[in-house]
Amino acid sequence: MRNLIMAVAETSGFEHGLTLGHLSAGLIMAFTLLLSLSQLGLDVTLFTSIITLAAAALFASVAVAFGIGAADAVRNVLASHYVRKAYRTGQRVRIDDLQGEILELTQIAVLVGTEEGEAWIPARHFLEKVALVLEEPEGDRA
């Protein structure tokens, strides 16, 4: 199991695959030891509670760390929903010191073509800062 977790972590680019592999192997060994002692007729209720609490604390801390780490991505995904309603491809916009034409509205960012090149602007910037629409696309003019 350890080798499988390490291989999956390595192929997905996860840096701490070795640690996660050792940790999962340790948990499996602990539960195996508890089952073995239980089969011998020993009362392992206290040890079971301790290991279960330790595993729950570990998984809860991983979930919190993931939630904190993914906060920016989630903000951009949510902001993109509202940006898609307010902006369209082809519009010329200015946000901060960048000015150009919206080339694409992605799930997390707005691709703006400027004179210097293409700029990926996080979608939340369009909600948090002043974004000025300079010109509508040709087909949208009344």
DSSP states of 32-48 as a string? HHHHHHHHTT---HHHH
- pLDDT tens string 5-58: 888 878 877 788 888 888 888 888 888 988 898 899 888 888 888 888 988 998
Which pTM does this prediction carry?
A: 0.55
- If you write DSSP's letter for every residue of 81-99 in order, what string do you get? HHHHHH--TT-EEEETTEE
CA atoms lying within 13 Å on the CB side of residue 65: 6
DSSP tag of 31: H
DSSP tag of 4: H
- pLDDT tens string 59-80: 899 888 888 888 888 888 999 9
